Structure formats: structure tokens, C-alpha cells
Amino acid sequence: MSNFMQYAIQLAQMVDGQTGVNPPVGSVVVNDGRIVGIGAHLKQGDKHAEVQALDMAQEKAKGGTIYISLEPCTHYGSTPPCVNKIIEFGLSKVIYAVKDTTLPSEGDKILQDAGIEVEYQPSDEAAMLYKDFFKAKESKIPEITLKVSTSLDGKQATDNGQSQWITNKYVKQDVYQLRHSHDAVLTGNGTVDADNPQYTTRIQDGKHPIRIVLSKSGDIDFSKQMFQDNFSDIWIYTENQSLSSPSEHIKIINLTECKLANILADIYDRGVGKLLVEAGPRVTSEFLQTNYVNQLIIYYAPIIIGGSGQYQFYQTDEVIDLNEATQFEIISTELIHQNIKMTLRKK
């Protein structure tokens, strides 16, 4: 892979989590071996990466090559097709790393008919970036990362409810980065009551995610600190028709049935493309029993808590045979100051 394509992919990775239901894309324009323009799709509804890069390059783009992490679009959406802009600027070659399987595959022909050479240069790194995006676009459900902080014996809290803090401060910093890379963070009202969390990033220039609370009953304690700040909007999903919002940044979303399928479809419709779930055992278990979770991240602290199974992070009503147990593939492990971060995906 060329350094220019690697740079385009890195640009896409840098904006991952801030483009809503649109894909994160990076682009680099090169002429005579020199970079003359760079761009990234910064947010949903904004200019696409190719347009950003070409606007920077201007007349220096003519006769040059554009490297793009994802196949350029051919359709009219919030912005015009990127292939039109590429043709307009007189580029001689287009190189992209991933084919967009969610759109009609006619971009190559349009560009070639305009006399532009097209090269598909596959990249496993870029493919991983878009794998869950393609799945989300097809299902109309956000890309979901489920995060759990736990003891070695799988407890999120002691039997008396003490949970702060099982993992160390360095794990907290890693979680702040996780939140920064997602559009929204989702939890249950029980966790809000028990832990009084804020679900912000606490990093310089960090992007605070939308905060989503599930409460079928609508029994919300609005004195909790999360509801007192204005860092980001809060969405409360409830079946309680009489629940009202005490503040402009708190939105009450009433559903006839607060089932995960209904909630997740509504979240996606509202522009959330990447969702982080940080919740207690009930909500965590509910998600793990579905096929919605793309990625599971578990932070293990080197402690054993013991007690009953009350705060075990995964709980089911029935006993499951070993041959029916959910299988995961370990993608990566990382030692974070004596805590272990394990990233997994369902097999």
C-alpha cells in the first residue's frame, strides 16, 4: 500500500465516530509526487472527503491522482456526487481502498467514461473500518460497541452495590477515548441511580456523546449530575406518556413498546451511527442475548469479588448447555497498568 493511501485511511480513522450514519472517509490529492490537498468527511451533511481535498488543491489537482479510503459516491444526498467533482477538477487517476457495497456500483464506469483511470487497491485495515458501517446501513441499526468493566470473576459490583472503582484510572482514560469515538452512549436508569455517572469524555477538545437513558417506567431522578450539565443532549426512552423534560437539552422519547429493536431503529433514524453501551447487568445481558452487538470490550481488574451472582455482568434466566454458549473471537488484548483490555467479536 502506498503512503498516500495509508494517509487517506488514517484521515478516515481520525473522524470515525463523528460522521453519524455516514461513513468516515479520508482523501489525499497528489500531483508530481507531492500532496496538494487533503480532506476528511467531518460530519453528516458536510462536504465529503474528496470535495474537501479538491477544494484545497484547486488547480493543482488537474492531472493528479486522488487516493480515497472508500469508493467515491455517485448519488445525490445531502451533497452532490463526488464523481462529478473529480471529473470537474480534471484528475487523471482515482485510487480507492474499499468498494461501497451499499450503493450502486457504477462509479468506476462513470469515471472511466470521462477518461479517468480507476484503480481498486484493497486494504484490510480500511475494510475493518467499514465492515460494521455496511452492516448498520443495511439493518438501519447503529454500529454497537458494548463495554464492560469487571472483576476477574465477572462482577460489575459487590453484593452491596459498590462499583466505583473496580478498574483503575488508566482504564477510565481509555473509556473516555471510546466515548469520544462514538456518537452516543446508552445506559439504563438503574445505572444512573446507582452510579450517578456523567458519560462525558473529560479530554481536551473531546467530543461528548449524546447520552441515552432507557427507563420504561419513566421514574427518573432529574437531580442526578448527568441531568444538571449541558455537555451534550440527553435522550430518555420511556413508555411513560406523562414524563416531561425539565430542560431543553433533555428530550423525552415516548415509544409504545420500549423494546431494543424499536429503540435502536429510532436511534439510527435520529442520526446515530456508532453507539457505545455502558450499562449494568440487566441492560448488558439484554444486548448480549441479541445479534446487535458488533464489538465487545471487557476491562478486567486483577481482583476477585465473590458473593452471589447479583452483579454478574452476564445473566440469563435459563441454564445454557456449553454447546449452545455464545462464542467470541478475541481480536486484541492490551495491558493497561495491571488491568486487561480485551476486544472481542461474535464468531
Q: Which CATH superfamily is domain 3-129 in?
A: Cytidine Deaminase, domain 2 (3.40.140.10)
Q: Tell me the domain boundaries of the chain.
A: 3-129, 140-346
CB 9 within 8 A of CB 69: yes
The sign of the CA dihedral 171, 195, 279, 268 is negative
Count CB neighbours of 249 within 10 A.
Answer: 15
CB atoms inside a 10 Å sphere around CB 141: 21
Q: Look up 50 and say whether it is catalytic.
A: yes
Residues 291-324 pLDDT 10s:
999 999 999 999 999 888 788 999 988 888 888 8
Q: Which three cell numbers stand for residue 168?
A: 483503575
Question: Cell triple for residue 243?
Answer: 414524563
pLDDT value of residue 207: 83
CATH 3.40.190.10: does it fit domain 140-346? no
Q: Give me the half-sphere count of Cα atoms (radius 13 Å) on the Cβ side of residue 263.
A: 25
* Predicted pLDDT of residue 78: 67
The answer to whether the CB of 99 falls within 8 A of the CB of 123 is no
CA 36 to chain centre: 30
H helix or E strand, kind and range, residue 303: none
Is residue 304 exposed (0-12), middle (13-18) or buried (19+ Cβ within 10 Å)?
exposed
**Length of the chain as a residue count:** 347
pTM confidence score:
0.88
Cα 7 to chain centroid distance, Å, stands at 21
- Check 50, 59, 71, 125 and give the catalytic one: 50
Which residues are documented as binding site for substrate? 163, 179, 202, 278
Determine the Cα–Cα distance for residues 322 and 278; give it in Å rounded to an integer: 27
pLDDT in tens, 249-273: 999 999 999 999 999 999 999 999 9
Query: In tens digits, what is the pLDDT along the chain, a chain of 347 residues?
Result: 789 999 999 999 999 988 999 999 999 999 999 999 999 999 888 889 999 999 999 999 999 999 999 999 887 766 778 889 999 999 999 999 999 988 777 888 898 999 999 999 999 999 999 999 999 999 999 999 999 999 999 999 888 877 778 899 999 999 999 999 999 999 999 999 888 889 999 887 778 999 999 999 999 999 999 999 888 999 999 999 999 999 999 999 999 999 999 999 999 999 999 999 999 999 999 999 999 999 999 999 999 998 887 889 999 888 888 888 889 999 999 999 999 999 999 88
Return the bridge partners of 250, or none. Answer: 234
Cα distance between the two ends of the chain: 29
User: Which DSSP string corresponds to 175-240?
Assistant: HHHHHHTSSEEEEEHHHHHHH-------STT--PPEEEEE-SS----TTSGGGT--SS-EEEEES-
* Binding-site annotation, residues: 48, 73, 82, 163, 165, 179, 191, 195, 202, 278
CB 67 within 8 A of CB 5: yes
Contact predicate 226/208, CB 8 Å: no
β 274-278/250-254 pair status: unpaired
List CB contacts of 102: < 8 A, sequence separation 6 or more. 134, 137, 138
Task: With beta carbons less than 8 A apart as the criterion, state whether 72 and 85 touch.
Answer: no
Amino acid of residue 189: N
